[in-house]
Chain A
Amino acid sequence: MALIEVHEISKVYSLGDIAVHALSSVSLSMEKGEFIAIMGQSGSGKSTFMNILGCLDKPSSGQYLLEGIDVGRLDRDELADIRNRKIGFVFQGFNLLRRTSALENVELPMLYSGVPAKDRRQRASEALKVVGLAGRENHYTNQLSGGQQQRVAIARAIVNEAPIIFADEPTGNLDTKTSVEIMELFVKLNAESKITVILVTHEPDIAAFSKRVIKFLDGRVISDERVAKA
């Protein structure tokens, strides 16, 4: 069974009388442990696709199976639960809570899954150790550099042992050197923890870290290539 299977999914937005087809009949399948880059220009539908895969949005038509679960049939709270347990998000703008410590930010997903306070603390510090931020648990997010903030976000994404990480332009706000460090962290998580990483980017340099590149144009998949690594 594939980790992610989409059949003929479409997304149509209606702006007044005009129907905008953000996605048209996309079918794909992704296996556990893959490292995938989704590429395309803005307006190509890649972000819409990500939102649907990330259970933040539902397709207008078509079927999306996540670990065999038909996500389209779930209600708002069931989707929230899927996001909580199966999916970790890493965003371009980090999206950490302000004036909150790194540790508390990483604890957040566990607050919503009912992990006892003592375990939360321990697991959050372990996750921070994994992303290389040991000793910075009590720093507030605004005291951290961009790269460090993105590491906190990655720690938050992995702390609930979610099998999938969705990273939406994770290096968009970072300089080249830091971008490479962050990408290497994703590679490490993918290799060592077998976490499936799905990356949205428009930079070929960043996409080069992945093992499979899917390109979008005008709401359709135009290419899907596995990259042979040396």
Chain B
Amino acid sequence: MINIPSTIKISLRSLKVNKMRSGLTMLGIVIGVGAVIAMLAVGSGARQRISAQISSMGSNLMIILPGATTSGGVRMGMGTQPTLSMADAEAIPKECPAVQSVAPIHNGVAQIIYGSLNWSTGVVGTTPNMLEVRDWALSAGRSFTAEDVRSASKVALLGQTVVENLFGSVNPVGQNIRIKNVPFTVIGVLGEKGQSPNGQDQDDTIYIPVTTAQKKLFGASFPGMVRIIMVKAKGADDLLPAEKQITELLRQRHHIGQKQDDDFSVRNLTQMMQAAEQSTKVMTLLLGAIASVSLLVGGIGIMNIMLVSVTERTREIGIRMAIGAKTWDIRLQFIIEALILSLIGGIFGIIIGITGSQVLSMLAGWPTIVSAASILMSFSFSGLTGIFFGYYPAHKASLLDPIEALRYE
């Protein structure tokens, strides 16, 4: 009969007797578990930041850009040719079943003046659909209407950054501002969005009716021209069909022959972001895998020390056998020693991992998330490591011949 509590007691005693060695052996596991937890925390932090940015952009989002002009052999780059029109923007939701909503954009940079303060920012001329396309709520006031677009009203929605810089604590709704010296009335304030995936402040913006932007602020090289069309597909599965439908529709509307290239391009923003999220996931796994190698090395360290320990304690094993320790008494003693080493190491590793990821967040500014799953996983993995690498030395110890072992100097 094997007495487990007694064996645990025996193991604890021998670990206590060799404090220094036990500590050093544990260190391998501490570093391994700590590294796994910290790396997974960095990975999931990065992932969470990207998903937050994706949802801040608006879900299932695509943009249509006009094509590039070629002027005397010089290709001017995407978006320089005014090929997209208001009529295109109106046709897309009617003709493409996968599209939920569309917002044309005619934008520019302008100086905004309120009282004695001024601020330069991007002014976006668009339609009321923009708020739906971008999943953007108002924090105060109301949005402009289709009627405002039709009549080119001089009304504006302000982003939070603009409000902060021009109004401070004053309620901007109902106030008059001047954009490029044209007077506008503020009718609403946009909710806070934060940074875009490429680091731009999405709140530093002003929305006005697209017609107002075309006629009164930035002009247009031909009537009804827009710079960008933003499209929201009905769902994640509709992104690819929507892209296909839009391409077909616009080629038809722009009279593009079969052998000619598109004079516009459709970009699937959400898909690009999901790819980025996917790559972060892969990075997390990779970091975790690299960190697990250190856990494995820690396990080999345990085996190494346990083997040394078995040799060094041959005489002790002999004494124990002489006074009645059975095969499994000895085997369990060493397995439990290895297990205790790795579990205590695991506990310290968890502490190191959590503090380490907090220090990383503070020093490097990376967001980190320590998940309960990663703690549980690395802790149980450290336990398994202990049993796995402790078994061979324990087995070796249990097979010693008591007479030989007693004679060992």
Residues on A facing B (Cβ under 8 Å)? 51, 54, 56-57, 76-77, 80-81, 83-85, 89, 91, 95-100, 104, 108-109, 111-114, 117, 156, 160
Contact = CB atoms under 8 A, between A and B. Distances in A.
Interface in B333-367: none
B392 to A, nearest CB: 19
B90 to A, nearest CB: 86
B324 A56 contact: no
Nearest to B5: A117
A172 to B, nearest CB: 14
Interface string B307-328: 0000000011011111111111
Contacts of A98: 17, 316
Contact of A104 (B13, B319, B327): B13
Interface of B: 1, 3, 5-6, 9-10, 13, 17, 315-316, 318-329, 402-403, 406
A207 to B, nearest CB: 23
Given A56-B403, A100-B13, A111 B326 contact: no
Nearest to B16: A99
Contact of B323 (A100, A104, A109, A114): A109
Q: What DSSP secondary structure best describes chain B's contact surface?
A: helix
Given A111-B6, A111-B10, A80 B321 contact: yes
Contacts, number: 67
B323 A77 contact: no
A141 B126 CA distance: 89
Contact of B3 (A51, A99, A109, A112): A112
A83 B403 contact: no
B135 to A, nearest CB: 65
A97 B402 contact: no
Contacts of A83: 321-324
Contacts of A91: 406
Contacts of A109: 323-324
Given A99-B17, A104-B13, A76 B327 contact: yes
Contact of A97 (B1, B319, B327): B319
A145 B114 CA distance: 96
A108 B327 contact: no
Nearest to B1: A114
A97 B315 CA distance: 9
- Among all A-B residue pairs, the 4 with the closest Cβ atoms: A84-B324, A112-B324, A77-B326, A111-B6
Given A83-B322, A97-B316, A111 B9 contact: yes
Interface centre among B1, B6, B9, B13 (most CB of A within 10 A): B6
Contacts of A56: 322, 402-403, 406
Nearest to A99: B17
Interface centre among B13, B326, B327 (most CB of A within 10 A): B326
